[in-house]
Structure 1
C-alpha cells in the first residue's frame, strides 16, 4: 500500500470509527433509559450507570478492535466476518455482565433478549460505519473517474491544439516560402518576356504582361502574405508582445496604435521572456486582431491602445488581463452582438477565461479579455 492509499484508508477508518462510536453512544443511552424496568432492587441511577456504562465500554472496545483488525486484514469479506464474530462475542460478554441486574437468574428468554439487543445494537453501529466507508469509497472512485475523464479531455484538446498549430505553421511556411517564391519568379518572367518582345507583338502584349506581373505582385503582397500572417502571426514564436507589436505595425499610418505592458507583466516577461504558451499567445493575438479590425472598420477609430497586465488569483496560477481601447464610436447597444468575436469568446471561455465588449471610460469601444494561464518557465 502506497503512502497515499494508506492516508486514504486511515481517513476512512477514522470516519467509520467516529460514526460507529456515535451509534454506540446512542445505543447505550437508549438501553440505559429502558433499564429501570429490569430491576426493583437496584436504584434507577445505579442501574442506568451500570447498564449504560457497560454497553458503552463494550461497544467502544468492539469499535477499536474492529478498526485495528481492518488495518491488518485487507480482504473485505474476512473483515466483515470477523466483525460479526466479534459482535456476537461482545454481545455475549455484555449479557453476562448485565444479567444479574435483571433479577432473572439465567432464564433463557431474558438471556436471549439481552444478547439479541446487544447483537442488533452493535451490528447497527458497525454497519453504519461500514456503510459510510462504502459511500466514501464510491465517492472517491467517482471523483477519480471524473478526474481521469477530464484529464483525457484536456489531453485531447491539447493534442488538437498541437495539431492545429502544426498545420497552421506548415501552411503559413508554404505560403510565405514556396508560394510567394513561385509568384515572384512568375512575375519576374512576365516582366522579362514583356521586355524581350519586339515588333507589333510587343505593342499588343507587353502592357498586358506587365499588368499581369503587377497583379501577381499585389496578390503576393496583399493576399498571400496577409493569409500567411493570419494562419501564423509574425512574432508569435517570440512572444505575445512581439506578435501584437508586429500586428499593430501593419496598420495604416493614419491609425495611432500602441501596446503597453503593465508592471507585473513586465516583471514576468523579464523573468520568463515569453511566459505564455504558444496556444495562449495565438488566442491573445487573434482576439486583439479582431478587436482592432472592428474598431477601425466599424467604429471609425483613429487611436487604438492595447494594455496587457497579469494578476495572481487563488483559483488560478495566473490571469492575463488584456484591454483594447479605441476612440471610435463603440458598440451601439448595451449588449452588443459579438459577431466575429463570438468564436474568440468561445475559445477564451473554453480555457476558463472571458471576453466582454463594451465602452471605454473616456468614450469609444473597449474589449476586455481575461485568460488564465500558467507561466512557461525558461521559455
Structure 2
C-alpha cells in the first residue's frame, strides 16, 4: 500500500469517526430532550388545567410545539459549534451551557408565540427559561457523556486491534526468520558439510589403498573411522538436514509428507488422505499455503510418526488432511500400543509442538485410539495463505 493510499484511508476513517461521533451526540441529546419535553408538557398541562382554571384553554399541542422548538434549537447549536470535536472537558461544559441557554430562551419565546402565555410575568419568564435551560443541560450533558464513552471505547478497541496486529506481524516475522535459518543450516549440512565428508572419505580411501605399509591395527582403525564418517554423512547429517527443512517442502505440503512417509520402514503401512480443498490450496502451480504453514503441518506429522515409532511397534500410520472454514486439520492415527495419558504422559516434543501451534491460534490433541495406538490431531488457522 502506497503512502498516498494509506493517507487517504486515514482521512476517510477520521471522517467516518467524526460523522459517527456527531450522530451519537445529537441523537442522544435529542432523545433525552424529547423525553423531558414530552413529560414536562404533559405534566404542566395537567397541573394547570386542574389547578388554574383560567389556563384550561392552553393546549397540549402548544406546549409540545414549544418544547420541540427548544430541542431543535439545542441540536442545531450543538451541530453548529461542532460539539462532537471538542476534546477539553471545560470546553465541553461551556458548549453544553451555551447550547442549553439558547434552547431555554428559544423555548420561552416559542411559548409566547404559540399563546401559552399572553402576558407572562418576570417570574414566569425566569421559571420557563430556567426550566428550559436545565432541560438542555441535562440532555446535552447526557449526549456528551455518551459521546465520550463511545470515543474511549473506540480508542481501546483500536489499541487492542493494533496490539493484536503487532503481535501477529511479530509472529510472522519470527516464522520467516526461523524458515530462513532452517533453510540456510539445512543447505549447509546437505551441501558444504557433506561435500567435506565426501572428500575426507575419498582421502581415507586413498590411504587405505596403500595400507600395505601400515600397521594392521592402524589400517583397521582407519577403516572404522571411514565407516563411521560414511554413516554420519549418510544418516546423521542427512536426517538432521531433513529435520531442519523437510524434503520437497518448496513443492508443497503433500509432496513433503509423501517424502516423509516414504522414508519409513517397509514393514509399516502408510496412507495419506488429502481432501480436494487441501489439494486446491496446495496446488504446486500456485500454492496458497505459506512455507511456515506447510512446515508446521509437517512437524505435526513428524511428531506423530516419531511417537508411533518410539511408543509402540506400529504396523500402520494413517495421515489425513482437510480444510474446514480456513482451518487446516491434520490427523495422524497409528495402531501401535495403546496410548494411555495417565501412564505415558505427554511427550516433551508434543508439548513444544502444542505451544508452537498456540502462537498462531492453533491447537493440538493427543488421545488414545479406539482400540489401540494413538490419535494426534492439529488444527492450524490459515492466514496469509488465503489472502
Q: TM-score w.r.t. structure 2 length? A: 0.86
Matches within 5 A, 1:347-362: 347-361=356-370
Contiguous gaps of at least 5 residues in structure 2: 1-9
Matches within 5 A, 1:203-222: 203-222=216-235
Q: Give the superposition deviation at 1:82.
A: 5.6
Tell me which of 299, 313, 319 is aligned to 2:327: 319
Q: What's the Cα RMSD here?
A: 2.8
Task: For 2:76 and 2:197, locate their aligned partners in 1 and report how far apart those are by CA, in whole Å.
Answer: 85
Tell me which of 343, 352, 377 is aligned to 1:368: 377
Say if 2:297 is the partner of 1:284.
Answer: yes
Q: Give the superposition deviation at 1:216.
A: 0.6
Kept in 1, the 8 Å contact 2:104–2:133? The answer is: yes
The alpha-carbon distance between structure 1 residues 264 and 335, as it changes in their structure 2 partners (threshold 3 A), is farther
2:236 maps to what in 1? 223
Q: Give the superposition deviation at 1:89.
A: 2.4
1:328 maps to what in 2? 336
Task: For 1:273 and 1:260, locate their aligned partners in 2 and report how far apart those are by CA, in whole Å.
Answer: 21
Tell me which of 150, 155, 169 is aligned to 1:155: 169
Kept in 2, the 8 Å contact 1:305–1:326? The answer is: yes
1:14 maps to what in 2? 23
Deviations 1:110-148 (A, max 9, x none): 322211111011121112112211211121111221222
Tell me which of 261, 264, 282 is aligned to 1:251: 264
Task: For 2:241 and 2:165, locate their aligned partners in 1 and report how far apart those are by CA, in whole Å.
Answer: 33
Task: For 2:312 and 2:80, locate their aligned partners in 1 and report how far apart those are by CA, in whole Å.
Answer: 74
Contiguous gaps of at least 5 residues in structure 1: none
Task: For 1:272 and 1:145, locate their aligned partners in 2 and report how far apart those are by CA, in whole Å.
Answer: 39
- Secondary structure of 1:264's aligned partner: helix
2:6 maps to what in 1? none
The alpha-carbon distance between structure 1 residues 167 and 285, as it changes in their structure 2 partners (threshold 3 A), is same
Task: For 1:228 and 1:168, locate their aligned partners in 2 and report how far apart those are by CA, in whole Å.
Answer: 9
Say if 2:236 is the partner of 1:192.
Answer: no
Task: For 1:60 and 1:290, locate their aligned partners in 2 and report how far apart those are by CA, in whole Å.
Answer: 70
- Secondary structure of 2:317's aligned partner: strand
Q: TM-score w.r.t. structure 1 length? A: 0.87
Q: Give the superposition deviation at 1:291.
A: 0.3
Task: For 1:226 and 1:183, locate their aligned partners in 2 and report how far apart those are by CA, in whole Å.
Answer: 15
- Secondary structure of 2:212's aligned partner: coil
Say if 2:146 is the partner of 1:137.
Answer: no
The alpha-carbon distance between structure 1 residues 87 and 272, as it changes in their structure 2 partners (threshold 3 A), is farther
1:267 maps to what in 2? 280
1:172 maps to what in 2? 186
Deviations 1:207-247 (A, max 9, x none): 21111100111111221111111111111121111111111
Tell me which of 246, 252, 255 is aligned to 1:239: 252
Q: Give the superposition deviation at 1:76.
A: 5.5
Task: For 1:272 and 1:119, locate their aligned partners in 2 and report how far apart those are by CA, in whole Å.
Answer: 72
Task: For 1:322 and 1:198, locate their aligned partners in 2 and report how far apart those are by CA, in whole Å.
Answer: 59
